[in-house]
Amino acid sequence: MEPFRARRDEFLRKLHRRPVVMGILNVTPDSFFDGGRFLNIEAALSHARRLAADGGDIVDVGGESVRPGAAPVSAAVELVRIEPIVARLASSLDVPISIDTSKAQVAASALKLGAIAVNDVWGLQRDPAMADVVAAAEAALVIMHNRAEKDETIEIIADIRKFFDRSLAIAERAGISRDHIILDPGIGFGKTSRQNRDALHRLAELKDYELPILVGASRKSFLGSLIDGHAEASLSGTIAANLAAAAGGAAMFRVHDVAEHVAALKVFHTIRHGTAW
Protein backbone atom coordinates (compact mmCIF):
# COMPACT_ATOMS: atom_id res chain seq x y z
CA MET A 1 0.00 0.00 0.00
CA GLU A 2 2.86 2.39 0.69
CA PRO A 3 4.19 2.51 -2.92
CA PHE A 4 0.59 3.11 -4.09
CA ARG A 5 0.14 5.99 -1.65
CA ALA A 6 3.50 7.50 -2.57
CA ARG A 7 2.66 7.54 -6.29
CA ARG A 8 -0.86 8.84 -5.67
CA ASP A 9 0.34 11.59 -3.35
CA GLU A 10 3.13 12.74 -5.65
CA PHE A 11 0.65 12.93 -8.52
CA LEU A 12 -1.83 14.94 -6.42
CA ARG A 13 0.89 17.32 -5.23
CA LYS A 14 1.77 18.15 -8.83
CA LEU A 15 -1.75 19.49 -9.33
CA HIS A 16 -0.99 22.31 -6.93
CA ARG A 17 2.43 23.15 -8.40
CA ARG A 18 1.99 23.27 -12.18
CA PRO A 19 -0.22 22.11 -15.07
CA VAL A 20 -0.56 18.32 -15.17
CA VAL A 21 -0.93 16.47 -18.47
CA MET A 22 -2.91 13.22 -18.68
CA GLY A 23 -2.15 11.14 -21.77
CA ILE A 24 -5.01 9.18 -23.33
CA LEU A 25 -4.67 5.47 -24.08
CA ASN A 26 -7.88 4.04 -25.55
CA VAL A 27 -7.76 0.27 -25.97
CA THR A 28 -11.06 0.29 -27.85
CA PRO A 29 -12.09 -0.33 -31.45
CA ASP A 30 -14.44 2.66 -31.65
CA SER A 31 -13.14 5.70 -29.75
CA PHE A 32 -13.74 8.86 -31.77
CA PHE A 33 -10.13 9.87 -32.44
CA ASP A 34 -7.88 6.85 -31.98
CA GLY A 35 -10.26 3.89 -31.95
CA GLY A 36 -8.62 0.62 -33.01
CA ARG A 37 -5.04 1.94 -33.04
CA PHE A 38 -3.98 0.37 -29.74
CA LEU A 39 -5.94 -2.87 -29.46
CA ASN A 40 -2.74 -4.86 -29.83
CA ILE A 41 -1.04 -5.06 -26.46
CA GLU A 42 2.42 -4.21 -27.78
CA ALA A 43 1.05 -1.19 -29.66
CA ALA A 44 -0.73 -0.05 -26.49
CA LEU A 45 2.38 -0.47 -24.35
CA SER A 46 4.52 1.37 -26.89
CA HIS A 47 2.06 4.26 -27.04
CA ALA A 48 1.89 4.52 -23.24
CA ARG A 49 5.67 4.69 -23.06
CA ARG A 50 5.64 7.42 -25.69
CA LEU A 51 3.05 9.41 -23.70
CA ALA A 52 5.31 9.20 -20.64
CA ALA A 53 8.48 10.02 -22.59
CA ASP A 54 6.74 13.07 -24.08
CA GLY A 55 6.19 14.44 -20.59
CA GLY A 56 2.82 13.01 -19.60
CA ASP A 57 2.27 12.92 -15.85
CA ILE A 58 -0.27 10.08 -15.88
CA VAL A 59 -1.66 7.68 -18.50
CA ASP A 60 -5.44 7.20 -18.60
CA VAL A 61 -6.41 3.72 -19.84
CA GLY A 62 -9.93 3.22 -21.19
CA GLY A 63 -11.59 0.03 -22.41
CA GLU A 64 -14.97 1.40 -23.47
CA SER A 65 -15.68 4.22 -25.88
CA VAL A 66 -17.87 6.94 -24.39
CA ARG A 67 -18.25 8.96 -27.59
CA PRO A 68 -21.84 9.86 -28.52
CA GLY A 69 -23.57 6.88 -30.10
CA ALA A 70 -20.96 4.32 -29.06
CA ALA A 71 -22.28 0.86 -28.19
CA PRO A 72 -21.92 0.01 -24.49
CA VAL A 73 -19.81 -3.00 -23.55
CA SER A 74 -20.02 -5.35 -20.59
CA ALA A 75 -17.63 -5.27 -17.66
CA ALA A 76 -16.26 -8.61 -18.86
CA VAL A 77 -15.29 -7.15 -22.25
CA GLU A 78 -13.82 -4.05 -20.64
CA LEU A 79 -11.74 -6.17 -18.26
CA VAL A 80 -10.34 -8.27 -21.10
CA ARG A 81 -9.23 -5.06 -22.81
CA ILE A 82 -7.68 -3.23 -19.87
CA GLU A 83 -6.29 -5.81 -17.45
CA PRO A 84 -3.19 -6.91 -19.39
CA ILE A 85 -2.36 -3.30 -20.24
CA VAL A 86 -2.77 -1.95 -16.71
CA ALA A 87 -0.84 -4.86 -15.22
CA ARG A 88 2.12 -4.34 -17.53
CA LEU A 89 2.14 -0.55 -17.29
CA ALA A 90 1.71 -0.32 -13.53
CA SER A 91 4.84 -2.39 -13.01
CA SER A 92 7.01 -0.83 -15.72
CA LEU A 93 5.97 2.75 -16.52
CA ASP A 94 7.68 5.71 -14.87
CA VAL A 95 4.37 7.56 -14.44
CA PRO A 96 1.16 6.40 -12.73
CA ILE A 97 -1.93 4.91 -14.37
CA SER A 98 -5.58 5.90 -14.09
CA ILE A 99 -8.54 3.85 -15.26
CA ASP A 100 -11.25 5.49 -17.37
CA THR A 101 -14.41 3.59 -16.44
CA SER A 102 -17.84 3.97 -14.88
CA LYS A 103 -17.99 0.33 -13.75
CA ALA A 104 -17.01 -0.49 -10.18
CA GLN A 105 -15.85 -3.99 -11.13
CA VAL A 106 -13.45 -2.62 -13.73
CA ALA A 107 -12.19 0.08 -11.40
CA ALA A 108 -11.57 -2.44 -8.61
CA SER A 109 -9.54 -4.68 -10.90
CA ALA A 110 -7.46 -1.82 -12.29
CA LEU A 111 -6.74 -0.47 -8.81
CA LYS A 112 -5.73 -3.92 -7.60
CA LEU A 113 -3.34 -4.17 -10.57
CA GLY A 114 -1.70 -0.86 -9.68
CA ALA A 115 -3.72 2.06 -11.06
CA ILE A 116 -3.81 4.99 -8.63
CA ALA A 117 -6.88 6.84 -9.89
CA VAL A 118 -10.37 6.32 -11.28
CA ASN A 119 -11.65 8.64 -14.00
CA ASP A 120 -15.43 8.19 -13.84
CA VAL A 121 -17.31 9.95 -16.64
CA TRP A 122 -20.52 9.59 -14.62
CA GLY A 123 -19.05 10.98 -11.40
CA LEU A 124 -20.09 8.10 -9.07
CA GLN A 125 -23.71 8.39 -10.27
CA ARG A 126 -23.91 5.46 -12.71
CA ASP A 127 -22.67 2.46 -10.67
CA PRO A 128 -23.77 2.57 -7.01
CA ALA A 129 -20.78 0.44 -5.98
CA MET A 130 -18.17 2.81 -7.46
CA ALA A 131 -17.83 5.14 -4.48
CA ASP A 132 -17.11 2.26 -2.10
CA VAL A 133 -14.50 0.84 -4.47
CA VAL A 134 -12.69 4.17 -4.69
CA ALA A 135 -12.91 4.70 -0.93
CA ALA A 136 -11.62 1.22 -0.08
CA ALA A 137 -8.61 1.64 -2.37
CA GLU A 138 -7.97 5.23 -1.19
CA ALA A 139 -7.63 6.09 -4.88
CA ALA A 140 -7.63 9.49 -6.51
CA LEU A 141 -10.89 10.24 -8.28
CA VAL A 142 -12.00 12.33 -11.24
CA ILE A 143 -15.66 13.30 -10.96
CA MET A 144 -16.91 14.27 -14.43
CA HIS A 145 -20.18 16.04 -15.23
CA ASN A 146 -22.38 14.19 -17.69
CA ARG A 147 -25.91 14.15 -19.02
CA ALA A 148 -27.89 11.39 -20.71
CA GLU A 149 -29.22 13.88 -23.29
CA LYS A 150 -28.41 17.37 -24.48
CA ASP A 151 -30.80 20.12 -23.45
CA GLU A 152 -30.11 23.51 -25.00
CA THR A 153 -32.46 25.23 -22.53
CA ILE A 154 -30.45 24.53 -19.38
CA GLU A 155 -27.99 26.91 -17.75
CA ILE A 156 -24.90 24.75 -18.07
CA ILE A 157 -22.83 25.96 -15.12
CA ALA A 158 -25.82 25.61 -12.80
CA ASP A 159 -26.33 22.06 -14.09
CA ILE A 160 -22.65 21.21 -13.62
CA ARG A 161 -22.72 22.54 -10.06
CA LYS A 162 -25.85 20.55 -9.22
CA PHE A 163 -24.20 17.39 -10.57
CA PHE A 164 -20.95 18.03 -8.69
CA ASP A 165 -22.87 18.63 -5.46
CA ARG A 166 -24.61 15.26 -5.79
CA SER A 167 -21.34 13.47 -6.60
CA LEU A 168 -19.43 15.12 -3.77
CA ALA A 169 -22.18 14.12 -1.33
CA ILE A 170 -21.89 10.51 -2.53
CA ALA A 171 -18.11 10.66 -2.14
CA GLU A 172 -18.39 12.07 1.37
CA ARG A 173 -20.84 9.37 2.47
CA ALA A 174 -18.50 6.68 1.16
CA GLY A 175 -15.52 8.18 2.98
CA ILE A 176 -13.55 9.35 -0.04
CA SER A 177 -11.07 11.99 1.03
CA ARG A 178 -11.83 15.36 -0.51
CA ASP A 179 -8.06 15.79 -0.98
CA HIS A 180 -8.20 12.95 -3.52
CA ILE A 181 -10.91 14.47 -5.75
CA ILE A 182 -10.56 16.25 -9.11
CA LEU A 183 -13.52 17.85 -10.90
CA ASP A 184 -14.12 17.69 -14.66
CA PRO A 185 -16.87 19.79 -16.33
CA GLY A 186 -17.29 17.10 -19.00
CA ILE A 187 -16.54 19.00 -22.19
CA GLY A 188 -18.20 17.19 -25.08
CA PHE A 189 -20.54 15.11 -22.89
CA GLY A 190 -24.29 15.81 -23.01
CA LYS A 191 -23.77 19.41 -24.08
CA THR A 192 -24.44 21.51 -27.14
CA SER A 193 -21.53 23.25 -28.85
CA ARG A 194 -22.61 26.48 -27.18
CA GLN A 195 -22.70 24.85 -23.76
CA ASN A 196 -19.22 23.39 -24.29
CA ARG A 197 -17.91 26.86 -25.11
CA ASP A 198 -19.73 28.37 -22.14
CA ALA A 199 -18.35 25.75 -19.76
CA LEU A 200 -14.80 26.56 -20.86
CA HIS A 201 -15.42 30.31 -20.85
CA ARG A 202 -16.86 30.22 -17.32
CA LEU A 203 -14.50 27.66 -15.82
CA ALA A 204 -13.40 30.08 -13.11
CA GLU A 205 -16.91 29.91 -11.64
CA LEU A 206 -16.07 26.38 -10.42
CA LYS A 207 -12.98 27.43 -8.50
CA ASP A 208 -14.92 27.96 -5.29
CA TYR A 209 -15.04 24.18 -4.85
CA GLU A 210 -11.32 24.54 -4.10
CA LEU A 211 -10.60 21.31 -5.96
CA PRO A 212 -8.34 20.79 -8.99
CA ILE A 213 -10.16 21.05 -12.31
CA LEU A 214 -9.47 18.72 -15.23
CA VAL A 215 -10.40 19.65 -18.79
CA GLY A 216 -10.80 17.04 -21.52
CA ALA A 217 -11.35 19.02 -24.71
CA SER A 218 -8.82 17.14 -26.84
CA ARG A 219 -9.85 16.92 -30.50
CA LYS A 220 -13.53 17.42 -29.64
CA SER A 221 -15.66 18.20 -32.67
CA PHE A 222 -17.18 21.42 -31.31
CA LEU A 223 -13.72 23.02 -31.55
CA GLY A 224 -13.70 22.38 -35.28
CA SER A 225 -16.90 24.37 -35.60
CA LEU A 226 -15.06 27.45 -34.32
CA ILE A 227 -12.65 27.41 -37.26
CA ASP A 228 -14.02 28.12 -40.73
CA GLY A 229 -13.78 25.11 -43.00
CA HIS A 230 -12.78 22.65 -40.25
CA ALA A 231 -15.22 19.83 -39.57
CA GLU A 232 -12.89 18.25 -37.02
CA ALA A 233 -10.94 19.73 -34.16
CA SER A 234 -7.34 20.46 -35.06
CA LEU A 235 -4.37 20.18 -32.74
CA SER A 236 -4.01 23.97 -32.77
CA GLY A 237 -7.66 24.37 -31.76
CA THR A 238 -7.23 21.89 -28.92
CA ILE A 239 -4.13 23.64 -27.61
CA ALA A 240 -5.90 27.01 -27.79
CA ALA A 241 -8.86 25.65 -25.83
CA ASN A 242 -6.61 24.13 -23.18
CA LEU A 243 -4.60 27.33 -22.76
CA ALA A 244 -7.87 29.22 -22.32
CA ALA A 245 -8.86 26.63 -19.72
CA ALA A 246 -5.51 27.06 -17.97
CA ALA A 247 -6.14 30.79 -17.80
CA GLY A 248 -9.54 30.00 -16.27
CA GLY A 249 -8.01 27.87 -13.53
CA ALA A 250 -7.77 24.34 -14.93
CA ALA A 251 -4.94 22.34 -13.37
CA MET A 252 -5.06 19.17 -15.46
CA PHE A 253 -5.48 18.41 -19.15
CA ARG A 254 -6.54 15.08 -20.69
CA VAL A 255 -5.03 15.03 -24.18
CA HIS A 256 -4.08 12.84 -27.12
CA ASP A 257 -1.06 15.00 -28.10
CA VAL A 258 1.12 15.07 -25.00
CA ALA A 259 4.40 16.55 -26.28
CA GLU A 260 2.72 19.54 -27.87
CA HIS A 261 0.67 20.29 -24.75
CA VAL A 262 3.63 19.94 -22.41
CA ALA A 263 5.53 22.50 -24.51
CA ALA A 264 2.61 24.92 -24.73
CA LEU A 265 1.75 24.67 -21.03
CA LYS A 266 5.38 25.16 -20.01
CA VAL A 267 5.44 28.45 -21.91
CA PHE A 268 2.06 29.47 -20.50
CA HIS A 269 3.04 28.61 -16.92
CA THR A 270 6.39 30.38 -17.16
CA ILE A 271 4.86 33.59 -18.52
CA ARG A 272 1.82 33.49 -16.23
CA HIS A 273 3.72 32.78 -12.99
CA GLY A 274 7.20 34.03 -13.81
CA THR A 275 8.84 30.69 -13.01
CA ALA A 276 9.47 27.53 -15.01
CA TRP A 277 7.96 24.33 -13.73
Residue 27's closest CA among 131, 125, 112, 97?
97
Quick check: 62 and 39 in contact, CB under 8 A? no
Please tell me which residue in 88, 207, 254, 272 is annotated as part of the active site.
254
Please tell me which residue in 50, 81, 220, 272 is annotated as part of the active site.
220
Whether 50 is a known active-site residue: answer: no
Alpha-carbon distance 185 to 202, whole Å? 10
DSSP string spanning the chain? -HHHHHHHHHHHHHTTTS-EEEEEEE--S--TTTTTTT-SHHHHHHHHHHHHHTT-SEEEEESS--STTPPP--HHHHHHHHHHHHHHHHHH-SS-EEEE-S-HHHHHHHHHHT--EEEETTTTSS-TTHHHHHHHHT-EEEEE---SS--TTS-HHHHHHHHHHHHHHHHHHHT--GGGEEEE--TTSS--HHHHHHHHHTGGGGGGG-S-BEE--TT-HHHHTTSTT-SS--HHHHHHHHHHHHHTT--EEEES-HHHHHHHHHHHHHHHHSS--
Whether 103 is a known active-site residue: answer: no
Q: Which residues are catalytic?
A: 220, 254
